[in-house]
Amino acid sequence: MRIREQRKCFKCDKEFSELFRCRIDERGNWVFMCGICLEETKINNLFYQYGGTWKAKKS
């Protein structure tokens, strides 16, 4: 069996099997962040926009 695919959090650079897609600055680029970083980042962030949840596929 293959190891589950993981992605790195944009902010803390740790790997997760579930991340949250969001925009966090005026450039409007989509980034993936873990739940902890997301909570921190969205406070007082005028550019914050949630774009869905990414989950690793089991294979």
Binding residues for Zn ion, per CB under 5 A?
9, 11-12, 34, 37
Question: Using CA atoms, how far apart are residues 21 and 2, in angstroms rounded to an integer?
Answer: 25
Cβ-based nearer residue to Zn ion, 5 or 18: 18
Cβ-based nearer residue to Zn ion, 1 or 36: 36
Minimum Å distance from CB 48 to Zn ion?
15
Cβ-based nearer residue to Zn ion, 5 or 39: 39
Question: Using CA atoms, how far apart are residues 35 and 40, in angstroms rounded to an integer?
Answer: 9
Question: Using CA atoms, how far apart are residues 48 and 25, in angstroms rounded to an integer?
Answer: 7
